Homo-oligomer: A and B are copies of this chain.
Amino acid sequence: MSKIAKIAVLGASGYTGSECVRLLLRHPQVEIVLLTADRKAGQALREVFPQFSPFRLPKLVPLEGIDWPALGLDLVFCALPHATTQKVIKELLLRASHMKVVDLSADFRLADAAAYARWYGHEHHAPELQKEAVYGLVEIYREHIRRSRLVANPGCYTTCAQLPLVPLIKTGAIDVDEIVVDAKSGMTGAGRAAKENMLFSEVSEGFHAYGVGYHRHMAELDQEFSLAAGREVTVTFTPHLVPMNRGILSTIYVRGVGGRLPQDLHAILMETYRDELFVHVLPFGEMPHTRHVRGSNMTFIGVAADRIQGRAIIGSALDNLVKGASGQAVQNMNLMLGFPETMGLEQVALFP
């Protein structure tokens, strides 16, 4: 596909939306033709995100009143809040059914209508699209994604936990009843809504767990781990907030089965990701830092032996706004539009 694809970013005044813009501005095969915002509609993107001041970009417009067919869009990134998303995408695909959609919200991640209703407290507003949607974890569902019209971009916590765990579960290498995922995220994972507990003075110079025992990302983990295991799997998952902007580190505690040592788990991951460009398995015993993937689409995975026989400690680190959101969304777009998978995603991590 040599022609330039026409792209829209819905919800460009949020962090995942602006991160899509950052990446798309350097993608040689796309043109951003539409940016939407809600409260900030009418403003230039530079007023909302001054880093775009030197670039020529469309003004932020409201979702209402867009003439979708007239725009001739090839693909839409939907970075809207949960729940509103499903209605918007439903209408969008009704009016311009040839378009493709990468949805960065949680609305289409759960394939099961009942699970959705249980975790989100209401029936899904677009159940037929829920069925159609493909879960967009590229390294696992690459071929489905290529052929799909609607991709549900995975959550940041879940991408970080699934990349190391799914291969180990699929191969039956670990005890699925004893998985503990202790996850730590930077603040951008919480978005840009003005809430007291997200103020600098509330977050800086401190650390805490939240959503203990109940966090919506669990639904996504349950779904994918159960699929990988071929039976129901429930993991312990605790998210924490780190006083930093970007990055997720998951420390994962597992027990090898069938006599498998931590080194064997490491070997499985090395083999699985040998040819992947965005998943890098560190030498055995080395642990990843979030700072070494900052701003890049990389996931770094490390495996070490616990001092308790048979147990391993796995570290998985990614940038929640890139591989955990917008970078993976662009990776999905590349597959859906037939571009090379890494196009526009070549940035090296920004450290220090």
Enumerate chain A interface residues (CB-CB to B < 8 A): 15, 18, 22, 25-26, 49-55, 180, 182, 184, 186-188, 192, 194-196, 198-210, 212-214, 218, 234, 236, 238, 240, 242-247, 249, 251, 253, 277, 280, 282, 285-296, 298, 300, 304-308, 311, 313, 315, 317, 321, 346-352
| Interchain nearest-CB distance for A278 vs B (Å) | 9
Please state if A184 and B207 are interface contacts (CB–CB under 8 Å): yes
Using Cβ atoms and an 8 Å threshold, which residues of chain B touch A54? 277, 280, 298
Please state if B351 and A49 are interface contacts (CB–CB under 8 Å): yes
Q: What is the bound-complex CA distance between A352 and B19, given in angstroms?
A: 9
Name A55's contact: one of B25, B201, B203, B348 (CB within 8 Å): B348
Please state if B55 and A209 are interface contacts (CB–CB under 8 Å): no
| Interchain nearest-CB distance for A271 vs B (Å) | 17
Using Cβ atoms and an 8 Å threshold, which residues of chain B touch A209? 249, 251, 287, 313, 315
Please state if A196 and B192 are interface contacts (CB–CB under 8 Å): yes
Please state if A243 and B22 are interface contacts (CB–CB under 8 Å): no
Q: What is the bound-complex CA distance between A242 and B290, given in angstroms?
A: 11
Please state if A53 and B280 are interface contacts (CB–CB under 8 Å): yes
Please state if B205 and A308 are interface contacts (CB–CB under 8 Å): no
